[in-house]
Amino acid sequence: MTVVTRFAPSPTGHLHIGGARTALFSWLHARRMGGRFILRIEDTDRERSTDEYVEAILEGMAWLGLEHDEGPYYQTQRFDRYREVIARMLAEGTAYHCYCSRERLEALRAEQMAAKEKPRYDGSCRDRHDPPPEGVSPVVRFRNPLDGQVVFEDLVRGSIAFANAELDDLIIARSDGTPTYNFTVVVDDADMGVTHVIRGDDHINNTPRQINLLQALGVTPPAYAHVPMILGADGQRLSKRHGAVSVLQYRDEGYLPEALLNYLVRLGWSRGDQEIFSRPEMIALFDLKAVHRAPSTFNPDKLLWLNQHYLKTADPVYVAGHLQPHLARLGVDPDAGPDLAGVVRALRERSKTLVEMAEGARFFFADHVAYDEKAVAKHLGEEGCRALSAVKAQLAELAEWTTEAIHGVIETVAASGGWKMGQVAQPLRVAVSGTAVSPPIDQTLQLLGREKSLERIAAALQHVHS
């Protein structure tokens, strides 16, 4: 049997953290088992679904690198298929028309609530044979079994059972003919050969209804794995009040996709004490049996730690590609300065996000340095300018503009002038970057190049003496 999983978001909002984790688990299971991963857009909620959200979902999936093997399929393009199945069920007697008015159903619900009973449809139209009332557009209901149980072995939670007596006759088509969620999901999963449904545990109550629908269609239900919800630090379900919840928001805040994927895979799944997982390791090691039953707590500090790890260890050329959009937001042209991978190497030890890295990189690409006057006052006094002039003269004579040669000049100037290394390096740092904070100064000068470095030193001296 070929394993087939699916991720089926509704485009009523952006791709959020919980959805991304579901997509990742589904993708990993398919990849590990050599199966197929389907992307399906469940866009039947016409009032809230938008093209903007569809694009955001597709963009978020692409950024995370969760490529699909089939799709994206759109439910709104499958209405003919849904109508075909509903007509078949009506003909076979597994579904029926219900003409009950809204007023009757509301009164029934109020009566059941007053009697402390579970609100459910009473089957009034289930076996009616009298002529239908005129001018009423009926809904279509599924003829749910009245007796017995729905029992399924959840791959995360173990055996789960629901009594059919607790399940009412689900509406599968509204009075305007549009299909409902539980029905479209069942038809899609059956048509697409889905073997494993991995989704949030908020769908558990839908599962017995969907199993009964599948069995009525003569289809073997897939295996189900319901993963627990994600909580904020306050123990409440993760939401916007806990900070960024959209995948693209994390991208815009300067996170690498590898960091977010690594964090998400550990959010409810573990492999011993291992914290860092490459993508190939995730695929090789992920096992639904190791998914935790208890809810997971989202820890932004842990995600930030992982991001810093990947900024430090990932290929600088790769990181540079992700850094470019952040530089562009600052109005920085990466082609107007040193090799961007070299800038990444210089900044990655001190950067936790790509946003921080982009801010730290600005001075490399600027035409003119903006000075921090406090740093100027502290490091470019009379003695600092003497050291700066001395190092400028020797830098101008360097035969090779390398990190080692530049470092040697700074050491020589410090020794000959009776200065400590910092008394030479800090004036130099303020001169070329505008602040007292930068990557190692020899590395900074090497990246800036001889011409730009000497120009900035001369400009700093002029700035102080003007």
Helix axes 181-191, 207-216, angle to 10 degrees: 60
Residue with tokens 């993508």: 279
Query: How far apart (Å, rounded) are the C-alpha atoms in residues 423 and 417?
Result: 10
Query: How far apart (Å, rounded) are the C-alpha atoms in residues 410 and 45?
Result: 67
Query: How far apart (Å, rounded) are the C-alpha atoms in residues 278 and 271?
Result: 13
First-residue to last-residue Cα distance in the chain: 79
Neighbours of 223 (CB within 10 A): 16
Q: Is 251 exposed, middle or buried (0-12, 13-18, 19+ CB in 10 A)?
A: buried
Cis peptide before 72 (omega within 30 of 0): yes
**C-beta of residue 425 within 8 angstroms of C-beta of residue 373:** no
Tokens of 121: 């449809």
Residue ranges of alpha helices (H) inside 380-420 are: 382-396, 403-417
Q: Annotated catalytic sites, by residue?
A: 240
Q: Which of 99, 74, 95 is nearest to 84 (CA)?
A: 95
**C-beta of residue 396 within 8 angstroms of C-beta of residue 390:** no
Residue with tokens 């001075």: 363
SS3 content of the chain, % helix, strand, coil (to 5): 50, 10, 35
Query: 162 - beta bridge partners?
Result: 150
Could you give the count of Cα atoms lying within 13 Å of 262 in the half-sphere of its Cβ? 23
Query: How far apart (Å, rounded) are the C-alpha atoms in residues 149 and 230?
Result: 30
Neighbours of 189 (CB within 10 A): 23
Tokens of 397: 């004579």
Category of 193 on φ-ψ map: left (φ > 0), alpha (ψ -120 to 50) or beta:
left
Q: Which residues of 306-325 are buried (b: 16+ CB within 10 A; e: fewer)?
A: bbbbbbeebebeebbebbee
Query: How far apart (Å, rounded) are the C-alpha atoms in residues 158 and 152?
Result: 8
Q: Which residues of 383-392 are buried (b: 16+ CB within 10 A; e: fewer)?
A: ebbebbebbb
